[in-house]
């Protein structure tokens, strides 16, 4: 049997370079020093609102596939409450950006968002519980780490500061810790083949997370 916490260290070392690239990305440094163009932030929040609708479904699939009652409850609660909290944040940020959640929902889903949500849905529908968990792990982990990093720096822009506060919040850090604990336990109960799948999905989802920031920075649209 492997040690769950050691496995978490391996998973983190697999995505540490992605985390470093995200922190150095002009979208994130711009949130922190206030220079991020409003258009890029608005693009990000609009696409993230699209993302969250499918993410809630993916978390519900994690709940369905979980091996223990406590994990069923945890993912079902995150699907219902954690995502709703983010949706509320987005609705109020969109209002301050001069638009609305309804208007944002009518905007096109751009290529990177389609790629990421399709990947998450396919992994969670078709894969084992271990695969589904591997795919959602960076969604929690990278946001919690980015939030914690940005909180120490803060932002002179009150809108960006509100976004940072939501992810640096102990409530978001705590749901992340719950999923990390569930992943450690799962690893201890899983085969080497499943460990390899968790690592593969953690890495791929981490790469999609980087692309998601980058697409907003580029104001990505469908070229044709």
What is the closest distance, in whole angstroms, from the C-beta atom of residue 136 to ligand HMH in the complex?
9
What is the closest distance, in whole angstroms, from the C-beta atom of residue 116 to ligand HMH in the complex?
6
Of 175 and 198, which CB lies nearer to ligand HMH in the complex structure? Answer: 175
Look up residue 13 and give its DSSP letter.
H
Residues 132/200, Cβ–Cβ less than 8 Å: no
Of 58 and 187, which CB lies nearer to ligand HMH in the complex structure? Answer: 58
Q: Which two tokens stand for residue 218?
A: 């580029």
User: For binding to ligand HMH (CB under 6 A), which residues are involved?
Assistant: 48, 51, 86, 139, 143, 209, 212
Alpha helices per DSSP H over the chain: 4-24, 26-33, 38-65, 69-77, 83-96, 101-105, 111-126, 129-153, 158-168, 170-188, 192-217
Q: Which two tokens stand for residue 169?
A: 């919040």
Residues composing the chain: 224
Of 45 and 197, which CB lies nearer to ligand HMH in the complex structure? Answer: 45
What is the closest distance, in whole angstroms, from the C-beta atom of residue 139 to ligand HMH in the complex?
4
Of 2 and 207, which CB lies nearer to ligand HMH in the complex structure? Answer: 207
Residues 211/35, Cβ–Cβ less than 8 Å: no
Look up residue 110 and give its DSSP letter.
P
Residues 119/205, Cβ–Cβ less than 8 Å: yes
Instruction: Give the nearest residue (CB) to ligand HMH.
Output: 139
What is the closest distance, in whole angstroms, from the C-beta atom of residue 66 to ligand HMH in the complex?
18
Of 2 and 23, which CB lies nearer to ligand HMH in the complex structure? Answer: 23
What is the closest distance, in whole angstroms, from the C-beta atom of residue 188 to ligand HMH in the complex?
26
Of 87 and 99, which CB lies nearer to ligand HMH in the complex structure? Answer: 87
What is the closest distance, in whole angstroms, from the C-beta atom of residue 218 to ligand HMH in the complex?
15
Cα–Cα distance measured from residue 142 to residue 178, given in angstroms and rounded to the nearest whole number: 14
Cα–Cα distance measured from residue 187 to residue 3, given in angstroms and rounded to the nearest whole number: 8
């Amino acid at each position: 049997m492997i040690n769950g916490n050691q496995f978490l260290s391996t998973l983190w070392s697999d995505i540490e370079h992605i985390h470093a690239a995200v922190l150095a990305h002009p979208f994130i440094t711009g949130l922190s020093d206030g220079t991020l163009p409003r258009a890029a932030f608005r693009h990000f929040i609009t696409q993230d609102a699209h993302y969250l609708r499918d993410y809630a479904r993916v978390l519900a699939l994690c709940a369905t596939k979980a091996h223990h009652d406590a994990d069923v409850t945890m993912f079902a609660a995150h699907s219902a409450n954690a995502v709703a909290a983010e949706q509320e944040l987005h609705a109020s940020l969109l209002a301050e950006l001069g638009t609305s959640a309804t208007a944002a929902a009518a905007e096109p889903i751009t290529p990177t968002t389609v790629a990421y949500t399709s990947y998450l849905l396919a992994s969670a529908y078709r894969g084992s519980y271990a695969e589904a968990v591997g795919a959602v792990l960076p969604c929690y982990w990278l946001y919690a780490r980015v939030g914690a990093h940005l909180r120490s720096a803060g932002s002179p822009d009150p809108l960006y500061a509100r976004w940072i506060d939501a992810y640096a919040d102990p409530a978001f850090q705590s749901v992340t810790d719950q999923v990390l604990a569930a992943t450690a336990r799962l690893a201890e109960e899983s085969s080497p083949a499943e460990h390899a799948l968790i690592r593969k999905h953690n890495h791929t989802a981490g790469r999609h997370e980087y692309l998601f920031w980058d697409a907003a920075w580029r104001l990505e649209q469908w070229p044709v």
